[in-house]
């Protein structure tokens, strides 16, 4: 089944404890992206990647890191999480930037205490 | 399921009626506009897109209208069904060196039986 998977789906952590949210897609997509979703603010893009080893900042990159060592994986790293990073996170992928249809994962609910 | 927005504008429609969901955008440089549907507890799902040089595009039971004069986008759903109950987001695609997607805050559609 073609899909985008994220792990974990739910995470409660404490301020300053490094964490990684994994994202994997099995569709051989070139483009991958991370979004956060907050009430009243909609979806905001954190980072995106056009292809392996090519990443770029979205609108809200502060406090996050990403890497794209393999085409299928695009992990989101929070080196020192803070409470304002409590949010619902979505990973998405698409065949390339000429395709507007992004396929979204199921989301990761992160709470930072 | 996950709450994606506690204070979203809500549109309540009787089953079988047509729904019209509106969206205002700000950037005239956007080259594509996209509609997504997000059901409770799931990631957004692509519905339809429209290029900025078009004013109408039809899909299966959906029509998107674009009015560039007033920077307004609408999604019309014909014969609304209970399965259409969801949050609907519009998004713009902008080019600034690379393509970025800017999402709106969403509208909740409730279908009344």
Helices (H), chain A: none
Q: Would you say residue B10 has pLDDT above 70?
A: yes
Q: Nearest residue of B to residue A60 by CA position?
A: B102
How far apart CA B55 and CA B99 sit, in angstroms, is 22
Q: Would you say residue B5 has pLDDT above 50?
A: no
Q: Would you say residue A107 has pLDDT above 60?
A: yes
Each residue's pLDDT tens digit, A44-95: 999 999 999 999 999 999 999 999 999 999 999 999 999 999 999 999 999 9
Integer-rounded Cα Rg, in Å, for chain B is 14
Residue B2: predicted pLDDT: 36
Question: Is A104's CB within 8 Å of B2's CB?
Answer: no
Residue B7: predicted pLDDT: 59
A23 Rama sector, left if φ>0, alpha if ψ -120 to 50, beta otherwise: beta
Residues of A in contact with B49 (CB under 8 A): 100-101
Per-residue tokens: A76: 């989101």
- Calculate how close chain A gets to B53, using CA atoms only, in Å: 16
Each residue's pLDDT tens digit, A80-91: 999 999 999 999
Q: Would you say residue B6 has pLDDT above 60?
A: no
Go through chain A and tell me how many residues it has: 113
Cα A21 → chain centroid: 7
Burial of B21 (0-12, 13-18, 19+ CB in 10 A): buried
How far apart CA A85 and CA A79 sit, in angstroms, is 11
Please tell me the number of Cα atoms within 13 Å of B41 on its side-chain side. Answer: 1
Q: How confident is the model at residue B99 (pLDDT cuts 50, 70, 90)?
A: confident
Average pLDDT, rounded, for chain A: 95
- SS3 of chain B: CCCCCCCCCEEEEECCCCEEEEEECCCCCCCEEEEEEECCCCCCEEEEEEECCCCEEECCCEEEEEECCCCEEEEEECCCCHHHCEEEEEEEEEECCCEEEEECCCEEEEEEC
Q: For the residues B91-108, what does the mean pLDDT come to?
A: 87
Q: Would you say residue B71 has pLDDT above 80?
A: yes
Residue B4: predicted pLDDT: 37
Question: Is B3's CB within 8 Å of A35's CB?
Answer: no
Residue A34: predicted pLDDT: 98
What is the dihedral sign for C-alpha B91, B94, B100, B102? Answer: negative
Q: Which residue has the tokens 């009787």?
A: B14
Average pLDDT, rounded, for chain B: 90
Each residue's pLDDT tens digit, A3-40: 999 999 999 999 999 999 999 999 999 999 999 999 88
Q: For the residues B22-47, what does the mean pLDDT come to?
A: 92
Residue B1: predicted pLDDT: 35
Residues of A in contact with B41 (CB under 8 A): 106-107
């Amino acid at each position: 089944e073609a899909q985008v998977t994220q792990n974990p789906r739910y995470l409660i952590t404490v301020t300053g404890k490094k964490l990684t949210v994994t994202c994997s897609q099995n569709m051989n997509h070139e483009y991958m992206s991370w979004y956060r979703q907050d009430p009243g603010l909609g979806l905001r893009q954190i980072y995106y990647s056009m292809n392996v080893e090519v990443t770029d900042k979205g609108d809200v990159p502060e406090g996050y890191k990403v890497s794209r060592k393999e085409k299928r994986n695009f992990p989101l790293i929070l080196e020192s999480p803070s409470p304002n990073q409590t949010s619902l996170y979505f990973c998405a992928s698409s065949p390339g930037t000429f395709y507007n249809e992004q396929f979204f994962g199921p989301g990761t609910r992160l709470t930072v205490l | 399921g996950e709450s994606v927005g506690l204070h979203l504008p809500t549109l309540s429609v009787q089953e079988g009626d047509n729904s019209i969901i509106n969206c205002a955008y700000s950037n005239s440089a956007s080259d594509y506009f996209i509609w997504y549907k997000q059901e409770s507890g799931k990631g957004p799902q692509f519905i339809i897109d429209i290029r900025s040089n078009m004013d109408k595009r039809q899909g299966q039971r959906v029509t998107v209208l674009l009015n560039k004069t007033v920077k307004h986008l609408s999604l019309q759903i014909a014969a609304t069904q209970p399965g259409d109950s969801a949050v609907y987001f519009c998004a713009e695609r902008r080019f600034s060196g690379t393509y970025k997607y800017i999402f709106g805050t969403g509208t909740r559609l409730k279908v009344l039986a």
